[in-house]
Amino acid sequence: MLPVIDYRGSGRDPAEQLPRAPAADLAEARAGVRALVADVAERGDHAVADAARRFDGVDLPPAAWRATDDELAAAERSLDPSLRAALLDAIDRVRAFHQAQRPTDLIWEERPGVRLAQRFVPLDRAGVYVPGGLGAYPSSVVMNVVPAQAAGVPSIALATPPGSDGRGHPSILGAAALLGVREVWRIGGAQAVAALAYGTRTVPRVDSVTGPGNLYVALAKREVADRVRTDGFPGPTEVAVMADATADPRLVAVDLVAQAEHDPLAACLLITDDPDLWKAVEPILADEVADTAHRDRVERALAGQSAVVICDDLDAMLRVAEAFAPEHLELLVRDAPAVAARVRHAGAVFVGPWTPVALGDYAAGTNHVLPTAGTARFAGGLSIYDFLRPMQVAEFDRPALAAAAPTVAALSTAEDLPAHGRAVAVRVAVVDPAQLANETAGAGRTPRLRDTAGSRPAGEGGR
């Protein structure tokens, strides 16, 4: 069922052997998305409405795009009680972890007369995209909205496909209402991303666009990345399960199936140093696949871009996992916490038998919007930092400026930017040395400034 890669005794780069979901032929899709985004930027509402008729099969006037407060309240009331309770619990768990991520502002005053600061400022408006066509994912509402709220973003706009009836999926609207989101746009696909990023007569523009979606949504985020902050551009989901002789074969099997049921293009990797473990897993996996609700897509995923990699030892297993840089890395090995501390390349790490990836999808508290396709080598999962902007602040007094003036003069001369040097020189050259000495000693008097010729007063103060 799973192809086997024997990596034992191999000196080859594991990245050359590992499976990945096949890359789509993007040229045509990218061209179409680029044209659509440009059309929305130019024609606004008219382009969005045309795209909705073409791709969603609905003809909604712009006045009907935004869900009303009554519609949101009705969607919240219609939530199944068990789903409502689950959403509230997930919200609490995700909010607690993301609020704990909030960085503290930095103030540095180690040099006399210098005060440097770094403040973390929330974005003004966050745009969230949540799929709601063939599948509806209220958990994605939680995973995108809660970090923005934890960051202190004052305005959040959510876009989701209108559905065949033009009303939007009730579980998406209900989850938004539970979170207090009152701006929900029934717009789907690449046109929603473009409308949020550029703004139209009806849809106010945002400062960021995050959230999962199909290929066209991902490509649209690439097109607008010079206009707004975006999260990653995720591809098909993936998991790597590192398991040794201590692992329970059934847990390995059910976790592979759980990931494969997402998508026929899901990549599922079992990495082990124990061939007997795979022998034990294989028949259990066959039984689990036969009984699963989405057998066709699971079988296609496992036979397509999935594999068992047999290694010499734990170090080799870790090298394989690091080369794969998976979205999810699950550790079913001895001393899993110690192994987790060694991991550098993974979107999220799930440690030990009681922490399955499925828990992270819904209720661990960590975020399930994670990098795929090897981008975990340089990218991370969605967090509060995606909705904060660090801003640096500098404040010098005159003696401190005078101390830095020679450095500014030398560098501005070397770079042939003499006006830079002059901007500092006119401030320090006209200060009476005695006054400067008094001020340095703490006299606290503000020296008078003269123009560079010394012929007339130039006012008070240094700013």
Residues marked active site are found at 327-328
Cα 326-91-73 angle, rounded to 5 deg = 125
Q: How many CA atoms lie within 13 A of 81 on its CB side?
A: 0
**H or E element at residue 151:** helix 138-151
Asked whether the beta carbons of 398 and 427 are under 8 A apart, the reply is yes
Q: What sign results for the dihedral spanned by CA atoms 64, 65, 66, 70?
A: positive
- In the 3-class helix/strand/coil scheme, how is 293-328 assigned residue by residue? CCHHHHHHHHHHCCEEEECCCHHHHHHHHHHHCCCE
Residue 92 in tokens: 């609490």
Measure the N-to-C terminal CA separation of the chain; round to a whole number of Å: 72
**What CA–CA distance (Å, rounded) separates 225 from 244?**
42
Q: Provide the 3-class DSSP secondary structure of residue 108.
A: strand
Q: Provide the 3-class DSSP secondary structure of residue 32.
A: helix
Task: Classify each residue of 322-342 as buried b or exposed e, where b means 16 or more C-beta atoms within 10 Å of its C-beta.
Answer: bbbbbbbbbbbbeebeebbee
